[in-house]
Every structure is written in structure tokens, then in C-alpha cells.
């Protein structure tokens, strides 16, 4: 491929991969910046309030809020890097950086749950005295901040796994605040301090469910697993159902990102399909079918004649 063809290819890929998705990322970035500002302001407020009132509860919650600020910042960095155009050395750009960010966010959620469970176990056997009124005020304020943040990110949560990770962080905190409000009310009414660690266990399991799900989804993309919702056998059968196809082998289906599935395969055409112009028609038919039926836009099909010898290393 000469320089002119190479530039044409990269420009084509840039328009194809960064047109609509690029607009989505711009909208998502604006929402992420607003969410970051809101959480950062609340973090500063909690630190100042904790130092002023000498409240360990406020400072502890500020530490938790710090993990959210870092998670959102990570999402912003990953989203901005993903918008960089492709180059001859990185022909898909840095689009997969969003998947790495999602994996890290999922891992941080699991780590947070581990800390919650560890502290809850200690408090369950030796429940400390909890100031229900102060806890209630903090929980209500936290719920307001996290609910607004989650609402801001809600429209973009399905854009990609990176945005889903940021949204799950906000939802995890919102759920935590709801649990804390419930526990604070119980403590105020009954004085039963053990409800605090018990509520933490329920909150932790909900967060763990979201974190493991995010790790699984992003891990599958990083490991080049077949995309969710696409069956290998169904794709192979669909390709083989073409009247001109004799055999399909060395079929691979994976995801470049969670929103961009890709496919490559060797297609052995029947012996009577020897005309190269006819090959172009067959190729277009199969690529259109993959796009329309399975939403696979990036497909590389190597067409071979019926007399072509199959490589034994390919299946």
C-alpha cells in the first residue's frame, strides 16, 4: 500500500469510526465534567466539614467520595484518549483505552466492596456508638449529590463500558446513601447500632454485582471473546447459507470495543464461481448480510476458489 492509499484508508477509518461515536463522546465528556465538578465540590465540603466538626464519619465518607472523583477522572481521560484519530502505527487509534478504563473501574468497585465487608465484619461483632442524627444528615446530602450525578450520566450509560463504569460508581454511592439513611433512621428510633454493618453488607452485595458484571464485560473485550448477543454457529451458518459458498473456515469474531464487533474468515467459493467480478458480488452480499443481520461493520473476508488448498492449521 503506497502512502496515498494508506492516507485514504486512515481517513476512511477515521470518518467511519469517529463520526457518530465522536459526537456521542463529546456529549458524554460534557456530562462527565459536570459530574466531576459536582463530586469534587461535595468532596471539599465534606473535608472542610469533617475538620471543622472533628467528624470521622464525614472524613471517612470524603475518602469514599475521593474514589468516585478518581473514577470519573479516569473515565474522562480514557474518553479523551479514545477520540484520538488512527495512525499508521495504531490503525484503530486508542479506542480500546475506554475498555481498559472500564476494567479498572470495575476492579475499583470490587476493592471498595472488600473494604466495606472488612469494616462491616469488625463492626458487627463490636458495634460502635453511632450518631444517628449526624449520619442521617451526611447520608441525605450524599444521596442528593450522587443522585444528581447518576441522573446526569443516565442518558450516556449505554454508550460504552467506560461510561457504564462511571455510572455504576454513582449508582453504587446512591444505593449506599439510601442504605445509610435507612440505618440512620433505625438507629434514631431504636438505638440498634448493629443495623449499620448489616445494611453495609446488603449495599456491598449490590455494588459487587455491578462491579463483577463490568469486569466480565470489559474482560471479554480485552480477551477478544465473541461479542455478547452474537452466536458463532449462527454467523457461520449464515455465511454458509450463501448459494455460492462451499465452505467457511478460520472464522474469528471479536470486539475492537464493546460497540464495534469485527470478523475475519476464509470463504471457499464453489468451483463454478471463478469470475473475479462475481467474487465482488459475493463479497458484497456477505458483508451486507453481516451488517444487517448481526450489526458487524468491520468484516474481512478472504475469498478462495474451490481448488484452493486449505491450510491444515486453520479450522
Residue by residue, DSSP assigns the chain as --HHHHHHHHHHHHHHHHSHHHHHHHHHHHHHHHHHHHHHHHHHHHHHHHHHHT-HHHHHHHHHHHHHHHHHHHHHHHHHHHTSPP-SS-TTTTTTHHHHHHHHHHHHHHHHHHHHHHHHHHHHHSPPP--HHHHHHHHHHHHHHHHHHHHHHGGGTTT-HHHHHHHHHHHHHHHHHHHHHHHHHHHHHH--TTHHHHHHHHHHHHHHHHHHHHHHHHHHHHTTPPPTT--HHHHHHHHHTSTTEEEEEEEEEEEEETTEEEEEEEEEEPTT---HHHHHHHHHHHHHHHHHHH---EEEEEEE-TTSPPPTT--
Per residue in 23-38, pLDDT (tens digit) is 667 778 888 999 999 8
pLDDT(1) > 50: no
pLDDT(268) > 60: yes
pLDDT(128) > 60: yes
Q: Is 199 part of a structural domain of the chain? A: yes
* Domain identity same for 119 and 245: no
* Domain identity same for 75 and 138: yes
Name the phi and psi angles at 92, rounded to 5.
-110, 15
What does the pLDDT read at residue 117? 87
What does the pLDDT read at residue 306? 64
| This prediction's pTM | 0.77
Q: Is 13 part of a structural domain of the chain? A: yes
Q: Is 71 part of a structural domain of the chain? A: yes
Q: Is 272 part of a structural domain of the chain? A: yes
- CATH code of the domain covering residue 271: 3.30.70.1350
What does the pLDDT read at residue 255? 92
What does the pLDDT read at residue 55? 52
* Domain identity same for 206 and 177: yes
* Domain identity same for 207 and 261: no
Q: Is 313 part of a structural domain of the chain? A: no
Q: Is 79 part of a structural domain of the chain? A: yes
Mean predicted confidence (pLDDT) in 153-165: 83
What does the pLDDT read at residue 151? 92
The more confident residue out of 251 and 136 is 251
Q: Is 309 part of a structural domain of the chain? A: no
At 272, the pLDDT band (50, 70, 90 cuts) reads: confident
- CATH code of the domain covering residue 139: 1.20.1510.10
* Domain identity same for 205 and 63: yes
At 42, the pLDDT band (50, 70, 90 cuts) reads: confident
- Name the residue range of residue 254's domain: 232-304
* Domain identity same for 110 and 185: yes
* Domain identity same for 244 and 211: no
* Domain identity same for 40 and 136: yes
Per residue in 91-121, pLDDT (tens digit) is 888 888 889 988 998 898 888 888 888 888 8
Per residue in 58-82, pLDDT (tens digit) is 566 666 778 788 888 888 888 888 8
* Domain identity same for 54 and 126: yes
How many separate domains does the chain show? 2
* Domain identity same for 149 and 283: no
Q: Are strands 245-257 and 298-304 parallel, antiparallel or unpaired?
A: unpaired
Per residue in 207-225, pLDDT (tens digit) is 888 889 889 999 999 999 9
Quote the CA–CA distance of 243 and 240 in Å, as a whole number.
Answer: 8
Amino acid at each position: 500500500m503506497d502512502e496515498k492509499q494508506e492516507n485514504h484508508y486512515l481517513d476512511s477509518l477515521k470518518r467511519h469510526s469517529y463520526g457518530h461515536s465522536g459526537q456521542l463522546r463529546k456529549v458524554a465528556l460534557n456530562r462527565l465534567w459536570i459530574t466531576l465538578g459536582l463530586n469534587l465540590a461535595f468532596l471539599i465540603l465534606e473535608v472542610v466539614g469533617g475538620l471543622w466538626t472533628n467528624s470521622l464519619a464525614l472524613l471517612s465518607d470524603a475518602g469514599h467520595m475521593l474514589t468516585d472523583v478518581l473514577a470519573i477522572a479516569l473515565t474522562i481521560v480514557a474518553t479523551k484518549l479514545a477520540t484520538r484519530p488512527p495512525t499508521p502505527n495504531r490503525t484503530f487509534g486508542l479506542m480500546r483505552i475506554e475498555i481498559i478504563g472500564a476494567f479498572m473501574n470495575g476492579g475499583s468497585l470490587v476493592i471498595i466492596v472488600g473494604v466495606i465487608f472488612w469494616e462491616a465484619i469488625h463492626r458487627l461483632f463490636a458495634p460502635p456508638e453511632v450518631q444517628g442524627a449526624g449520619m442521617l444528615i451526611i447520608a441525605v446530602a450524599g444521596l442528593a449529590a450522587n443522585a444528581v450525578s447518576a441522573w446526569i450520566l443516565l442518558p450516556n450509560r449505554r454508550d460504552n463500558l467506560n461510561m457504564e463504569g462511571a455510572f455504576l460508581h454513582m449508582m453504587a454511592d446512591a444505593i449506599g446513601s439510601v442504605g445509610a439513611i435507612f440505618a440512620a433512621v433505625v438507629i434514631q428510633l431504636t438505638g440498634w447500632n448493629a443495623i449499620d454493618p448489616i445494611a453495609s453488607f446488603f449495599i456491598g452485595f449490590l455494588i459487587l454485582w455491578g462491579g463483577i458484571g463490568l469486569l466480565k464485560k470489559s474482560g471479554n473485550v480485552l480477551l477478544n471473546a465473541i461479542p455478547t448477543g452474537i452466536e458463532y454457529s449462527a454467523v457461520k451458518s449464515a455465511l454458509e447459507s450463501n448459494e455460492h459458498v462451499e465452505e467457511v473456515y478460520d472464522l474469528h469474531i471479536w470486539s475492537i470495543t464493546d460497540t464495534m464487533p469485527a470478523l475475519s474468515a476464509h470463504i471457499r467459493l464453489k468451483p463454478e464461481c471463478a469470475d473475479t467480478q462475481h467474487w465482488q458480488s459475493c463479497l458484497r452480499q456477505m458483508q451486507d448480510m453481516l451488517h444487517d443481520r448481526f450489526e458487524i461493520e468491520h468484516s474481512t473476508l478472504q475469498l478462495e476458489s474451490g481448488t484452493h488448498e486449505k491450510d491444515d492449521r486453520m479450522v
